[in-house]
Amino acid sequence: MQEAIPEFTVSEISFAVKRSLEGSFSRVCVKGEIFGCKRADSGHWYLSLKDENANLAAVCWKGVAAGLAFKPEDGLEVAAVGKITAFAGKSSYQLVIERMEIAGAGALLKLLEERKQKFAAEGLFDAAHKKPIPFLPETIGVVTSPAGAVIRDIIHRISGRFPTRIIVWPTLVQGEGAAEQIAAAVNGFNSLPTGGTIPRPDVLIVARGGGSLEDLWCFNEEAVIRAVYNSEIPIISAVGHETDTMLIDYAADLRAPTPTGAAEFAVPVKSELAARLATLKSRMINAVNRFLSERQTRLEGLKRGIPDLQQILAEHTQKLDDRTERLRLAFANFLQNRQNRLVLSEIKPFYISNIMEKKSEALQNLCLRLESVSVEAVLKRGFAWVQSGRHKTVYNADEARRAGSMKIVFADGAVKVRTTERKNELQGDLFDD
């Protein structure tokens, strides 16, 4: 006989498998590495958990994902708590995650170090990019949760030190969407126009109270780090306790150990400023008084070296009288000199004629003496002037022998002769030109 085989519909089989899986694995904890992680438009997260031998599909509904301390991403080692159920539409099974944590601090710290090296290589932590914190900001922007002790501590500390306008941009500081909201707040403050309806802050404080590494993980997200790096407004980071160091601390312009410390970095103490100003004012007044006193003493010393004004005027008056008298006498002397010169001009022709006669007689005597020694006078007395062919005077017989031809000048004329020497005697012959 043919054996009887149970007959089921597809839906019956699917629901039976679903009941079996959910009954056997109603609450399990699965450890594995996330891969194929993506967020749907609905806000749900779809991913897989894998180890070296197998992989398991998983889904994290939007409500659960909002409470996660970190943003799911590929490569994270996690421990996911939930139930195994079947998805009839694809004949597959999956883990519906109810809670998920990083599988140990070591894995999270490894991821943190990898991100730190990546951002540092891009220059997001460079000290040269950091901006100075303004000394006395008029407006302070705070990015934090609107509820809790952090914002109250910041407001209280700023009010006690130097009351300043505070603008709070409320954000999540933990879980899904926190990183995006923090980045949006930083960008939003930077987009405020100067002189607008909402004052643009002079400095920003990004703050959160203490917590585990998983709780503070949103401050290590890339969206937050890049928003802080690109901020034109100086940023003070104040995340967690003093021992907690997030990546935002490296990207910020200044790190505060606590939110309260950030408020102290943001504004000085008003009373200390007032005391300092009072001290400076006192020093300035003392310096001015000392300066004026020194100048007064110096002026008094200079005053003692200046003669009496009446004495100066008397000396100059006396000098003026002396110059006036000398001018009067000089004018009288000038007139007398002109008068004397006029008298002399009347007797001058007699003296001039007398001098002219004497000079004329002396000149005539010189002319007679010059004429008596002239060449013509000497030749008239019987002398002759012997010249060589080159019109040079011949003074002796030796020069006559060498001359060859000579010219003999007499008072009434000149003759030319040629010279010859015979038996030590000089002979000459007359010739014409």
pLDDT score recorded for residue 6: 81
Q: Do both 98 and 117 map to the same domain?
A: no
Q: Do both 42 and 90 map to the same domain?
A: yes
Task: Tally the domains of the chain.
Answer: 4
Q: Do both 27 and 93 map to the same domain?
A: yes
CA distances from 288 to 273, 301, 302 (A): 22, 20, 21
Q: Do both 75 and 161 map to the same domain?
A: no
Judging by beta carbons within 10 Å of its beta carbon (0-12, 13-18, 19+), is residue 217 exposed, middle or buried?
buried
**What do you get for the CA distance between the two ends of the chain, in Å?**
192
Q: Do both 294 and 393 map to the same domain?
A: no
349, part of any domain: no
**Residue 207, strand partner residues:** 238
320, part of any domain: no
Q: Do both 115 and 257 map to the same domain?
A: yes
Residue position matching structure tokens 């006193």: 293
The C-alpha atoms of residue 11 and residue 280 are separated, in whole angstroms, by 89
- Strand, helix or coil for residue 315: helix
Residue 22: count other Cβ atoms within 10 Å of its Cβ.
16
83, part of any domain: yes
Which residue segment(s) compose the domain that 189 sits in?
A: 111-125+137-268
37, part of any domain: yes
pLDDT score recorded for residue 427: 58
Query: For residue 29, which phi and psi values (nearest 5 degrees)?
Result: -120, 120
Query: Count of alpha carbons within 13 Å of 117, Cβ hemisphere only?
Result: 5
**Residue 131, strand partner residues:** none
331, part of any domain: no
pLDDT score recorded for residue 369: 81
373, part of any domain: no
* Full DSSP string of 247-268: HHHHHSSEE-SSHHHHHHHHS-
Q: Do both 184 and 299 map to the same domain?
A: no
Q: Do both 121 and 227 map to the same domain?
A: yes
Rg (CA), the chain: 64
Q: Do both 151 and 257 map to the same domain?
A: yes
β-pair type (45-50, 28-39): antiparallel
- Strand, helix or coil for residue 230: helix
- Strand, helix or coil for residue 269: coil
Query: For residue 242, which phi and psi values (nearest 5 degrees)?
Result: -60, -30
CA distances from 97 to 29, 56, 104, 343 (A): 9, 12, 18, 146
Q: Do both 91 and 148 map to the same domain?
A: no
Q: Do both 219 and 292 map to the same domain?
A: no
Specify the amino acid at residue 171: T
Query: Count of alpha carbons within 13 Å of 157, Cβ hemisphere only?
Result: 18
CA pseudo-torsion sign 118, 124, 125, 127? positive
Please name which of 212, 273, 220 lies closest in space to residue 240, comparing C-alpha atoms: 212
Q: Looking at residue 259, which CATH number applies to its domain?
A: 3.40.50.261
CA distances from 110 to 75, 205, 223 (A): 11, 28, 19
Specify the amino acid at residue 164: T
- What predicted TM-score, i.e. pTM, was given to this entire model? 0.54
pLDDT score recorded for residue 428: 59
The C-alpha atoms of residue 20 and residue 89 are separated, in whole angstroms, by 17
The C-alpha atoms of residue 26 and residue 11 are separated, in whole angstroms, by 21
- Digit-coded pLDDT (tens) for 12-60: 888 888 888 877 787 889 988 899 999 999 989 999 999 888 999 999 9
57, part of any domain: yes
408, part of any domain: yes
Contact 134, 202 (CB under 8 A): yes
Q: Looking at residue 92, which CATH number applies to its domain?
A: 2.40.50.140
Residue by residue, pLDDT tens for the chain (433 residues) are 456 788 878 888 888 888 888 777 878 899 888 999 999 999 899 999 998 889 999 999 998 888 887 788 888 888 899 998 887 777 788 899 998 887 766 677 888 888 899 999 999 999 999 999 999 999 999 999 998 899 999 999 999 999 999 999 999 998 878 999 999 999 999 999 998 899 999 999 999 998 888 888 899 999 999 999 999 999 999 998 888 889 999 999 999 999 999 999 999 999 989 999 999 999 999 999 999 999 998 888 887 777 777 777 788 888 888 888 888 888 888 888 888 877 666 656 666 777 888 888 888 888 888 777 777 888 888 888 888 877 788 888 888 888 778 888 888 888 888 877 664 555 555 555 5
pLDDT score recorded for residue 167: 96
Contact 181, 117 (CB under 8 A): no
Query: For residue 165, which phi and psi values (nearest 5 degrees)?
Result: -65, 130
**Residue 406, strand partner residues:** 388, 417
Contact 179, 218 (CB under 8 A): yes
pLDDT score recorded for residue 425: 56
pLDDT score recorded for residue 78: 87
Q: Do both 120 and 62 map to the same domain?
A: no
pLDDT score recorded for residue 1: 47
* Final residue of a structural domain among 242, 268, 294: 268
CA pseudo-torsion sign 288, 294, 295, 300? positive
